Amino acid sequence: MKRARLCGLAASLLSAAAAAQPPVVEKVDPPNWWAAHSINPVRLLIKGRNLAGARVECPRLACGATRVNAAGTYAFVDVTIPRARTAGDYPLVLRTPAGTARVPFTVSAPLARAGRFAGFGHDDVIYLIMPDRFADGDPSNDDPAASRGLLNRAEGRRYHGGDLAGVRAKLPYLKDLGVTAIWLNPIYDNTNVLDTKEVYDGKATTAYHGYHAIDYYAVDEHFGDVAEFKRLVDAAHAQGIKVILDMVANHTSAYHPWVADPPTPTWYHGTAARHPNNTWQTWTLADPYATPDMRRATLDGWFIDILPDLNQDDPDVARYITQNTLWWVGVSGIDGIRQDTWPYVPRTFWRDWMTAINREYPALRVVGEVFDGDPAMIAFFQGGRPQFDGVDDKVQSLFDFPLYYAVRSAFASGRPVRDVAQLLSHDRMYRDPSSLVTFLGLHDVSRFMNERGATTEGLELAYTFLLTARGTPLLYYGDEIALPGGNDPDNRRDFPGGWPDDSANAFERAGRSAGQQAVWAHVQKLLRLRAARPDLRRGPTQHLFASEQQYVYRRGSSVVALNNDTKSVEIRLPLPSLPGDALGLCPAPRAEGGGVVITVPRRTGCVF
């Protein structure tokens, strides 16, 4: 009893000592906002010390009531910006019984809307870039002072030195290839130390990939800063290339300051010491018979029992994530968002998040990641209609993982191409199959060329399908030169030529091998054909022929014939006539018996 009294007295003395200290403001999220924004008031999260009993005063703006967490380290305040308020600095004052502190805050001028916030769709071709692995445009940030010792190109899970300046320098390459949009993996400020929690093969890791945020309002120092990101977006737009930014609303880094000191008691689902482990049972989320308890581990669990799971049911968390999303859009002018781990966040949150985005930026589009090969799962999460739970999550696009698996199986492993046609027959399940993003590979799977039986012939054939089929096609950096790579992190190899000391520069024709150039030229020719023929982007799909290893379909007035066999074939089609092959790979069709006969060489695709 005596010890308890002494402990209580010590705690009281510490609390009193803290209360006697003047307040200190360390960070303000967001640091700026816009007067005519659809979110007004904006909710500020002020991080600091000795904030207990604080109230925030707004000399030239309007402040709501101040709320401070029990530790006195975070304060929330809603700030209303008069619509006519001009851009400039509008510092606030945080006042406690022990003193005052300045709270920096800026009202920003909105970016001009013309040429920005444009969205993306089936007229586009997206190119996925992992900034750390693409090109090193600014060697001065390779080993920055804030996070020394994380650079090592010999280690797959260390930083390699790629950055936003490197992406900007290679925009002419992308323009020449024919892509119209780039998707960047997350650029948030990530873990600043070697990660000894997420360890593989006995080695600590880094967050070079961008998915372990420690500051949602900063760019990682290895990549540049917010100003450099703005320069990249402006330069891309000047080249006619849109920008899609990866975002992560599900979890943070295990090293985020919030883990030890959360702004609210329910900021995360649990604590580092006591939390649910994610069981990855996403099927339960689409199961009308599943109980809330069955779904809870998937929605609330921490990824790999390490990454802290944000609680979007906490209104302050939901508001923070939504404002942060709109802040990145507003400061940069991006055109789209790729949202990570879509199923693992409550659908009611996505509905409200999408509503906020659509209200401010009606043309901007979001593609969500539902990593599942079952078309029924993709259809369940596709926006535009309520599901059995009464929720329409409103997302405009999802990745077509079911088609990815069929494409890999047929064109890499040589299994029946008819499986691709059969998979597409499931399009009846989708509200809008043309809105899906199609792909041969991305950063979470092994490279196409790593599949057993994969050849550059098969890769070119796969590209012929990808770039003529319905949907918005995606290219993963390096796949246009048949870059090999196994599972993570081997699938994230550096693009050859992105570093001054690389032995070959595949950004230039002279630096590519004959095999690399053949694939690159094939992709470029297909992209030019796709740009020239609207029916390859927007035309309805009609299946004309499907056998075990041959598949012929029509897109509007274009006809695509694929032969996945190891020998040449003739295919009779019930068409009055056909023009020549635009790719120059098939001989001229011949009329015969009221139809046409086409000859398609082995492992070849032709576009008539």
Q: Which residues form the catalytic set? A: 340, 369
Catalogue the E-assigned strands of 86-194. 88-89, 92-96, 99-103, 106-108, 126-129, 181-184, 188-190
Catalogue the E-assigned strands of 450-529. 472-476
| Chain centroid offset of residue 350 CA | 15
For 44, list phi and psi in degrees, rounded to 5. -90, 140
Residue 135 and residue 147: Cα distance in Å, rounded? 20
By the 8 A CB rule, do 230 and 331 touch? yes
Contact partners, residue 329, CB within 8 Å, separation at least 6: 117, 337, 357, 360, 361, 364
Which amino acid is located at 96 in the chain?
T
Burial class (CB in 10 A: 0-12, 13-18, 19+), 107: buried
Contact partners, residue 270, CB within 8 Å, separation at least 6: 276, 300, 302, 309
First to last CA, the chain: 89
- Which of 405, 407, 409, 402 is CA-nearest to residue 379? 402
- Which of 511, 523, 532 is CA-nearest to residue 477? 523
Contact partners, residue 496, CB within 8 Å, separation at least 6: 481, 483, 502, 503, 504, 505, 506, 511
By the 8 A CB rule, do 21 and 73 touch? no
Identify the three-state secondary structure at position 442.
Answer: coil
How far, CA to CA in Å, does 102 sit from each of 60, 70, 97, 402, 486?
14, 21, 15, 53, 52
Which amino acid is located at 306 in the chain?
I
76: left (phi over 0), alpha (psi -120 to 50) or beta: beta
Identify the three-state secondary structure at position 234.
Answer: helix
For 75, list phi and psi in degrees, rounded to 5. -130, 140
Angle at 256 between CA 487 and CA 21, to 5 degrees: 170
Residue 439 in tokens: 């792909």
Burial readout 336-370 (b: 16 or more C-beta within 10 A, e: otherwise): bbbbbbbbbbbbebbbbbbebbbebbeebbbbbbb
CA dihedral 383, 384, 385, 389 (to 10 degrees): 30
Q: Looking up tokens 């022990």, which residue turns up? A: 98
For 457, list phi and psi in degrees, rounded to 5. -60, -45
**Local structure of residue 284 (DSSP, 8 states):** G
**Local structure of residue 408 (DSSP, 8 states):** I
